[in-house]
Amino acid sequence: MFSSSYKGRLMPVLLASAALALGGAIALPSFAAPDRGQEYFPLQSYRVGPYAAGGTGFFGGFIDYMNLINMRDGGVNGVKLTWNECETEYEVERGVECYERMKTQGNPGPAAMNPLSVGIAYALLDRSTSDKIPLITINHGRTDTTDGAVFPYIFPLLLNPWSEASAMVNYVAQRDGGLDKLRGRKIVVLYHGSPYGRETIPIFALLSQKYGFEVTEIEVPHPGNQQQSQWLQIQRIAPEFVILRGWGVMNPVALKTAQQVGFPADHIIGNIWSNSEEDVRPAGAAAVGYIALTDHPSGTEFPVVQEIIKTVYGANKGNLDDKSRIGSGYHTLGIINGILNVEALRIAQQHFGDKALSGEQVQWGFDHLDLDDKRIAELGATGLLPPIHVTCADHEGAGAVKFQQWDGQRWVTKTGWIQADRKLLRPLIEASANKYAAEHHITPRNCAKTS
């Protein structure tokens, strides 16, 4: 009855459960001390609980990339990468507890925190700043943390929620033949009933005013396993497009309920947390034709993914037990997160020397993270992530996305990189960040003077 993969699958869950039973106790770092020290990446992961599918994929990809760097390159300029995991089950209080336990680990301390949770990230905003540990919220988090003058240690890398909203509207316009064609159109935004889901309400309202389309924003209560009334409302409104800002079970249920009321899947556009294989497979045929935004396309054809398969999985050190998940959306996002963390460390080493660095020093690396097409090609990640240019003032650094369509088996990329309207958004981000600074008595950095 049990397949050969049973033991392999059992092990990480067993370890996670054991860690949980010990109250999140932390194992020793995974590697022996090398000549130039070790750079420590604490992982507040979630391998059990309602969002385990996302957690295992993302943290699996992150660990696979760090393993690749250690096995292929001997670390980053001789500095081995180490990590350990603390199970959060995606719960904020556990995430904070893990943070407190892990922040004193490693020598010279953690390089960065990567909790992959809006709730945990919100809870750590002030702590990570006062502890001088970079907090990475790739593709999520609080939008105004993009303003690095106010939030020097928070990095919503690649795509913040407002850029996501803007890029989605730009895509609809492109599909319709231009921004001027949006006037009079009806768009419904179906969002998850959580701070994450509500983050974009003002931006869609603003974009609808600017471009003249009619927007209706409908909330789906957490966790989203009943949506009939929302979709009946959508049926009555009869919009041209539905923008789906889902998470977890809400995504397949949205697609199935859309099918029930006869709304076409190819007029539903999913956001960055509605774009994985795990979101569409449970919906079966109802998901065929569904379109979702991404900045981390799925696939194993990218050279860096091939190297991970060959070097890491070839040595039987891959983190995913189910190898069919290699190159899935969550896994590639984890690999990209690994690339960004490692490159930030590499850039910081150019400034501070080839040694293990503190969180404060690695923050400098993130503040100067600059990956152009050439560097991305050298990393074997062409097409996997857009060029990113982070500065003291701009902690997002990119804001470009592609759109992909589910064909029933896999995602097929339909567009090149589409940009958000960052000029429109920037003043709003600064206004919100400055308000936060005033409320919390923060003196923003002068980015003109920061080297």
Q: Which residues bind another protein (CB under 8 A)?
A: 1, 3, 6, 9-10, 13-14, 17, 47-53, 56, 193, 218-223, 225-226, 228-230, 232-233, 235-236, 248-249, 252-253, 256, 259-262, 278, 281-284, 286, 321-322, 325
Task: Report the C-alpha gap between 302 and 243 in whole angstroms.
Answer: 29
- Residue number with CB closer to another protein (9 or 355): 9
- Residue number with CB closer to another protein (333 or 385): 333
- Residue number with CB closer to another protein (40 or 46): 46
- Cα→Cα distances 156→59, 356, 361, Å: 17, 24, 18
Cβ of residue 91: shortest distance to another protein, in angstroms?
13
- Residue number with CB closer to another protein (264 or 416): 264
- Residue number with CB closer to another protein (186 or 375): 186
Phi, psi of 39 (to 5 degrees): -100, 125
Task: Report the C-alpha gap between 166 and 173 in whole angstroms.
Answer: 11
Judged by phi (left if over 0) then psi (alpha if -120 to 50, else beta), residue 385 lies in beta
Task: Report the C-alpha gap between 139 and 136 in whole angstroms.
Answer: 9
CB 358 within 8 A of CB 79: no
Residue with tokens 């029933």: 408
Cβ of residue 20: shortest distance to another protein, in angstroms?
9
Task: Report the C-alpha gap between 139 and 147 in whole angstroms.
Answer: 15
Cβ of residue 226: shortest distance to another protein, in angstroms?
6
Cβ of residue 323: shortest distance to another protein, in angstroms?
12
- Residue number with CB closer to another protein (107 or 228): 228
Cis amide linkage into residue 108, ω under 30° from 0: yes
Cβ of residue 321: shortest distance to another protein, in angstroms?
8
- Residue number with CB closer to another protein (236 or 423): 236
Cβ of residue 195: shortest distance to another protein, in angstroms?
13
Cβ of residue 8: shortest distance to another protein, in angstroms?
10
Task: Report the C-alpha gap between 58 and 63 in whole angstroms.
Answer: 9
Torsion on CA atoms 280, 282, 287, 290, rounded to nearest 10: -20
Q: SS3 for 155?
A: strand
Task: Report the C-alpha gap between 178 and 172 in whole angstroms.
Answer: 9
